A and B are shown apart, each in its own frame.
Chain A
Amino acid sequence: MKKIAQLSKEEIIHLASLAGLTLTEAEVEKFRRQLTETVEYVENLNELKTEGIKETSSPANLFNVFFTDGTENTRGFTEGEALANAKNKKGSLFVVKRIL
């Protein structure tokens, strides 16, 4: 594990933008301090030898779970249901920000 001393203000702002979050100046400093403290703590994992150990992504250890052919799909919304919780819609469409 790399040794990371401190998270910088710029890193916090960059992370927030990657995560689609907007932070105030005060939040940037607060989170910088708190996240640095958390990152410092988790470095205790460096005390453990993990070379050659396989990663566990889920304790269920299941692979390729499929529906059997011909299974009837009992889920799915009607158009009305799908739109029921949208705050911003036009007719039968969700309104989103312009992409292109």
Chain B
Amino acid sequence: MTLLGKSLLELRALVEKKELSEKETFEYFLERSKKYNTNINAYLTYGENDGFPIAVKDNFCTKGLRTTASSKVLENFVPQYESTVTDRLKHRGFGILGKTNMDAWAHGSSTETSDFGPTKNPWNNEYVAGGSSGGSGAAVSAYLAPAAIGSETAGSIRGPAAWCGIVGLKPTYGRVSRYGVVAMGSSLDCPGPMTITVEDAAYLLEIIAGNDSFDATSSSAPTEAYRKKLSEKRTLTIGIPDIYFEGGDSEVAEAARASIKVMEKQGHTVKKIELMNPRYAISVYTILQRAEVSSNLSRYTGIRYGDDRSYFGDEAKKRIMLGTYTLSYGYYDAYYKKAQRVRTLIVEDFKRVFGEVDVIVAPAMSTAAIKLGDSSKYSFFGELADVLTEPSAIAGIPAISVPVGLTSKGLPIGMQIMGNYFDEATILNLAYQFERETEFFGVIKNGIKNYKD
């Protein structure tokens, strides 16, 4: 039986029917991963064959399995405890296939700040996979895992999903527990699934979502039967913010516009909306995230675990220092407080728009993947690259990125559907309907075809 290209749920169904064992499935993906990882560098560490395989970003603490956050500081760190997300997955029969490469501490949007080398884009190894969950994105795209878990602070799931041509879901802030995730921006961080089908994403969200007493910011709002709700026939009002289509790559904007036409033909109503210029979100995000980074990374002293602060890479040092600056006496009001106030304006902006529409659709990233090395031309590349994902991340609303085609260079293009707070069900429903209609124009299938068994 050929397993290549089967979705996570298809594989699990085969295991349930005893046509395939978990061990065989794990072995199959492990073999593929070892074969292709030398080129792609998606994995940093492999796990034990003790469950149905899933790849997990290396910032989730996995008990007894090395967790580095792609930083030399944690090169030899073996967690004594399990993150809530991986704990919930293990309770549902999953085993960690491997820990995936990322930007060190999740600082970046290209996986080039990893202290263990960049992850290559499976579509073209001269290009980046995106980041920070680049290893997870590349692993799923090249079918080196049936699915992966990533985390997003602003763009770190949607970005690599778009650039590697797969499905990436960033849930509402607080929908999924952050317990045991190496913290970056604590008021922004969201774990989420990266998959080859929308149904797989809904399935994984059902497993990992829900209140956790170990994360005081996790929400007690009830979760939904996300999978069941996929097939509900719904007609939605889709908001289109023109400003999200300007200033980027025209091929990307055109592909997103063409996909919106498909949705219109499916019976949805399209409505123009006004949203605040996302370039303000770049500033809010830069200030707040660096402030939170400087606080979160102060714990790395090399005393209780890990190595000392001389092991931090350039990007971490830069972020810690800017965060220290904006939080210091005399500058706190000018930067940090100001950014928190504009954050309120961004939240209100989305709340107003969700009074008029059910979802918002736009390109996920303003360009397709960039060449390896190109990000170093910018002083704060990550923040500029993630401009279209930052407003929703700052507001804390959910969003999903899906493939909508390829550029003339043959690189994937991603489109995002943003939804109202805790309304993952609606964005998944629309993404699923769109998938049924278009099969994402063959992007996911063709990506896998390049990586034969």
Contacts and interface: CB of A to CB of B under 8 A. Distances in A.
24 contacts: A1-B334, A11-B325, A15-B324, A15-B328, A19-B324, A21-B320, A27-B314, A34-B318, A35-B322, A35-B379, A38-B322, A42-B282, A42-B335, A45-B283, A45-B284, A45-B339, A56-B343, A56-B344, A58-B173, A58-B396, A62-B216, A75-B214, A77-B81, A96-B303
B160 interface: no
Contacts, number: 152
Contacts of B334: 1-2
Interface of A: 1-2, 4, 7, 11-12, 15-16, 18-23, 27, 31, 33-35, 37-39, 41-45, 47-48, 50, 53-60, 62, 65, 67, 71, 75, 77, 81-82, 84-88, 94-96
Nearest to B380: A38
B321 interface: yes
B312 interface: yes
Contact of A23 (B317, B324, B335): B317
B213 interface: yes
B219 A15 contact: no
A1 B330 CA distance: 11
B340 interface: yes
B2 interface: no
B370 interface: no
Given A11-B325, A22-B309, A95-B303, 19 more contacts: A1-B338, A19-B320, A21-B320, A31-B318, A35-B318, A38-B379, A39-B322, A42-B287, A42-B339, A43-B283, A45-B280, A48-B345, A50-B338, A59-B173, A59-B174, A59-B187, A65-B216, A71-B213, A85-B78
Contacts of A60: 173-174, 187, 217, 219, 396
B167 to A, nearest CB: 24
A25 to B, nearest CB: 14
Report the 5 A-B pairs with minimum CB-CB distance, sorted nearest first.
A59-B396, A85-B305, A55-B340, A50-B341, A65-B216
B310 interface: yes
Contacts of A41: 282-283, 286, 380
B38 interface: no
B47 interface: no
A86 B344 contact: no
Contacts of A50: 338, 341-342, 345
A70 to B, nearest CB: 13
